[in-house]
């Protein structure tokens, strides 16, 4: 006869949670799920502000789901990264090797992956692989890994009778005391906001197609005001967001929008001889170019959702787009 015992896995789990709490900012809120069904933690992100010399912490309204796996040692492997097609447009096709990277090979239960897959990708589920010996965390976005790596390689993966799957975590996906290593987490946590922004831009871009030219400038100024309410525009990883923010600020604050090519070249401003729009009205060359420019800005912003899906969601994955 023996008493109840505590297993080594319980000790590793306890150490893992302590390391996560130690390495992440102390003003972030970490909530444990008990019991858990594939999600161990939810993390709410805050930012530090100085109010009259007194530090306070404002919630960003951003959250992450986290699976935690602890290990006592990590074995590194080197894999080849191959050039591949845009897997959103056609089945996976890989060809030339373009480089090599170091990865961690880690076995995870298939039912955990399937749980994440059923959640969709609006709220990222991040795997934290915690090295309890070296006091480090390695991360991988499971939603993106499933859609961009596992299913392109094996489309019927979840129909197979396979209990576990070996996944590859790039060595560069490291979280440490260096605050810059948290940047990917900030990027992931903004995903619901990105999707909300993309939805709003798509609606606006479509509605502009039904504006007459007299309404266009006023409508774009109002739309700019609505879009600038989103707090996703300043982005370290995606500079085009910063560019569009400045464009929208200019639209919002200008009573008479004269932008685009009309600002850069000499045009006939007074003679109305250019036909534009479905009603066949005539405008000056400068007016026509400005109308076209306004439509093009919303068209370019609307394309951000395509770039996000085909490129940004591969960042930090062991793929060509993710690493090179």
- Please write the tens of the pLDDT for every residue from 240-275: 999 999 999 988 766 555 554 445 445 455 655 545
Q: Does the structure show a pLDDT above 80 at 200?
A: yes
Please state, for a pLDDT cut of 90, what percent of the chain lies above it. 63
Cα(64)–Cα(79) distance, integer angstroms: 29
**The dihedral sign for the CA sequence 227, 228, 232, 235:** positive
Nearest to 164 by CA among 117, 125, 129, 113: 113
CATH for 8-189?
A: 3.40.1350
Q: Residue holding tokens 């992100």?
A: 45
Cα(198)–Cα(313) distance, integer angstroms: 15
pLDDT band at 109 (very low <50, low <70, confident <90, very high): very high
Do the Cβ atoms of 149 and 318 come closer than 8 Å?
A: yes
Task: Give the SS3 label for residue 195.
Answer: helix
Give ranges for CATH 3.40.1350 in the chain: 8-189
Running DSSP on this structure, what letter comes out for residue 29? E
Nearest to 316 by CA among 188, 208, 205: 188
47 Cβ partners below 8 Å, 6+ apart? 57, 58, 60
pLDDT, mean over the chain = 88
Q: Which stretch of 124-128, 196-200, 290-294 has the lowest confidence by average pLDDT? A: 290-294
Residue 216 or 228, more confident? 228
Q: Does the structure show a pLDDT above 70 at 296?
A: yes
Do the Cβ atoms of 106 and 169 come closer than 8 Å?
A: yes
35 preceded by a cis bond (ω within 30 of 0): yes
Do the Cβ atoms of 70 and 13 come closer than 8 Å?
A: yes
């Amino acid at each position: 006869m023996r008493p109840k015992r505590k297993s080594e896995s319980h000790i590793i789990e306890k150490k893992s949670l302590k390391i996560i709490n130690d390495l992440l900012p102390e003003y972030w809120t970490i909530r444990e799920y008990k019991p858990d069904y594939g999600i161990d933690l939810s993390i709410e992100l805050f930012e530090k502000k100085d109010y009259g010399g007194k530090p306070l912490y404002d919630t960003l309204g951003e959250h992450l789901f986290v699976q935690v796996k602890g290990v006592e040692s990590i074995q590194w492997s080197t894999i080849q990264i191959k050039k591949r097609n845009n897997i959103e447009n056609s089945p996976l096709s890989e060809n030339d090797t373009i480089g090599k990277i170091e990865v961690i090979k880690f076995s995870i239960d298939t039912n955990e992956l399937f749980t994440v897959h059923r959640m969709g990708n609006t709220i990222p589920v991040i795997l934290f692989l915690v090295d309890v010996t070296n006091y480090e965390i390695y991360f991988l976005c499971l939603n993106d890994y499933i859609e961009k790596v596992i299913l392109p390689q094996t489309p019927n993966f979840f129909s197979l009778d396979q209990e576990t799957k070996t996944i590859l975590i790039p060595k560069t996906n490291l979280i440490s005391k260096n605050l810059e290593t948290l940047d990917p987490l900030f990027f992931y946590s903004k995903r619901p906001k990105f999707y909300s922004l993309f939805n709003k831009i798509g609606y606006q871009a479509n509605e502009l197609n039904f504006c007459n030219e007299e309404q266009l400038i006023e409508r774009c100024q109002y739309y700019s005001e609505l879009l600038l309410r989103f707090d996703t525009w300043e982005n370290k990883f995606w500079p085009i967001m910063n560019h569009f923010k400045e464009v929208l600020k200019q639209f919002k604050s200008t009573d008479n929008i004269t932008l685009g090519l009309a600002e850069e070249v000499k045009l006939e401003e007074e003679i109305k001889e250019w036909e534009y729009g479905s009603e066949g009205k005539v405008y000056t060359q400068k007016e026509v170019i400005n109308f076209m420019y306004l439509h093009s800005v919303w068209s370019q912003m609307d394309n951000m959702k395509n770039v996000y899906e085909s490129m940004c969601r591969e960042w930090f994955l062991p793929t060509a787009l993710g690493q090179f």
